[in-house]
Amino acid sequence: MSVYTQLTDDQFAAFCQSFGVSFARAIPITQGIKNSNWFIQTTDDVDGTYSYVFTLFEERPPADIEKMAVILNQLNGKLPVAAPLAVIESNSAQADGDIDDKRYVIHYEDKAITLVPCLAGSHPEQTTQAMCHDIGAALAMLHETLQALQPSEQYGVPLYPWADVRDREMQFMPGDEAKLMSDIWRAYSELPLTTLPKGLCHLDMFADNTLWNLQKGEARLTGLLDFTEVSVEHYVMDIAITINDFCTTWGVAEQGESVNFDRSKMAAFLQGYESIRPLNSDEKRALPVMLAKAAVIFWLLRLNVIHYNRTEGRTGDNIMVKNPDLMKRLAAYHWAHVEKSQNTVFVLSTKPDNQIVGVFSSIMQAEQAQETLNSSEFAIKEYTLDQLS
């Protein structure tokens, strides 16, 4: 993450001591856009190594970070997560207490500080189908495991008011961009949202929030990071957010910052996810629009960071801003597929004489009709509405 708040070595030493850790050195972590983070080298670490990550949460209130700590301890043992250390005062006083009774957060100027063990592995520069399969299974396990924390609203932080950011930013957008955002938002609002399963979701499972052992030619997931955004949301939205990053190859600036979405990777992700938690039919139908909406949310997030940095006067080499246009292009790609599906029908007809038996709005409906007829003498063909007329 970027570094916004500066701390002295004496401050680091005092904070680390509260967690029972002997401080030697803090190394700034510059990736990311929201919080201030450092690697912590202890007096027991050799040069060039570090044991912990020290995070100062710039925006989230300490109460939210306490909830995050409980969530991580719930996942610990089932998924590779770094559960925050308990503050030693509460740990000694309640050594045998429930994890909900422990205190994991130090307050500094109304901001929260946590210390977590470093996880092995590295961020992947590229993903593979196998990695997409594995992260799909991990996300499903996360959704299943966190169902034990009830009521879920007690543990999730409130969803960010993205509609407010949308209304502010659309005033300054070119007409085509504003229309794209408005069309996707409308399509999302028209989904059968009440029928879509909800629960605690990560909502930021990008590749740079995961760690992998990549040394032996076969990637192995070793870490899931950044649980600050865990909220109660539709599972299919969490799926869409993760797919959008893991299944997209983002070109670097020197190559024009291209956006290349890989549908075979998405298929691998969904196969991994459904090996743990099968999607229902409403979730499957909603996914194309959710992919577009998820891209819109992160388009707005990056615009909001630019707005926040400008209004707060944040500048300097430690401030990293991701290009919002990349998410805009991904939203446009997904929306093109949604529009194509809205103008596409699937025709079930007899094979010998091509007589139309039925016209369906989705391939799933056509296949179900074909199965009901229980005959191999029927074929399914895809047509645009213009072709059919």
At 31, the pLDDT band (50, 70, 90 cuts) reads low
CA 268/CA 280 separation, integer angstroms: 18
Written as six digits, the tokens of 252 are 């670097």
Other CB atoms closer than 10 Å to residue 290's CB: what's the count? 26
Written as six digits, the tokens of 168 are 């502010």
At 312, the pLDDT band (50, 70, 90 cuts) reads confident
In this predicted model, what pLDDT tens digit does every residue of 35-44 receive, in sequence order?
899 999 999 9
Q: 21-35, 47-61, 130-144, 242-256 — which one is most confidently predicted on average?
A: 130-144
pLDDT for residue 3 = 67
pLDDT for residue 330 = 96
What is the three-state SS of the chain? CCCCCCCCHHHHHHHHHHCCCCEEEEEEECCCCCCEEEEEEECCCCCCCCCEEEEEECCCCHHHHHHHHHHHHHHECCECECCCCCCHHHHHHCCCCCHHHCCCCEEECCEEEEEEECCCCECCCCCCHHHHHHHHHHHHHHHHHHHHCCCHHHCCCCCCCHHHHHHHHHCCCCHHHHHHHHHHHHHHHCCCHHHCCEEEECCCCCHHHEEEECCCCCCEEEEECCCCCCEEEEHHHHHHHHHHHHCEEECCHHHCCCEEECHHHHHHHHHHHHCCCCCCHHHHHHHHHHHHHHHHHHHHHHHHHHHHHHHHCCCCCCCCCCCHHHHHHHHHHHHHHHHHHHCEEEEEEECCCCCEEEEECCHHHHHHHHHHHCCCCEEEEEEEHHHHC
CA 236/CA 242 separation, integer angstroms: 10
pLDDT for residue 160 = 93
pLDDT for residue 92 = 46
Cα Rg of the chain, angstroms? 24
Helix axes 162-170, 175-189, angle to 10 degrees: 150
At 155, the pLDDT band (50, 70, 90 cuts) reads very high
Report whether 188 contacts 226 (CB < 8 A): no
CA 146/CA 277 separation, integer angstroms: 13
In order of 282, 293, 339, 368, 386, the CA distances from 278 in angstroms are 12, 22, 26, 18, 35
- Give 295 or 33, the one with higher predicted confidence: 295
- Give 41 or 61, the one with higher predicted confidence: 41
To the nearest whole percent, how much of the chain has pLDDT over 90? 63
In this predicted model, what pLDDT tens digit does every residue of 338-370 receive, in sequence order?
988 777 778 888 877 778 888 877 777 787 788
Q: Is the pLDDT of residue 249 over 60?
A: yes
- Give 232 or 370, the one with higher predicted confidence: 232
In this predicted model, what pLDDT tens digit does every residue of 94-145 receive, in sequence order?
444 454 567 889 999 999 999 999 999 999 989 999 999 999 999 999 999 9
At 375, the pLDDT band (50, 70, 90 cuts) reads low
Q: Is the pLDDT of residue 254 over 80?
A: no
pLDDT for residue 257 = 78
pLDDT for residue 91 = 47
Q: Which pTM value belongs to this model? A: 0.78
**Range 210-238 average pLDDT:** 92
Average pLDDT, the chain: 88
Q: Is the pLDDT of residue 301 over 70?
A: yes
Q: Is the pLDDT of residue 203 over 60?
A: yes
**Range 214-237 average pLDDT:** 91
Q: How far is CA 184 from the centre of its chain?
A: 19
In this predicted model, what pLDDT tens digit does every residue of 328-337 receive, in sequence order?
999 999 999 9
pLDDT for residue 386 = 57
ω before 28 within 30° of 0 (cis)?
no
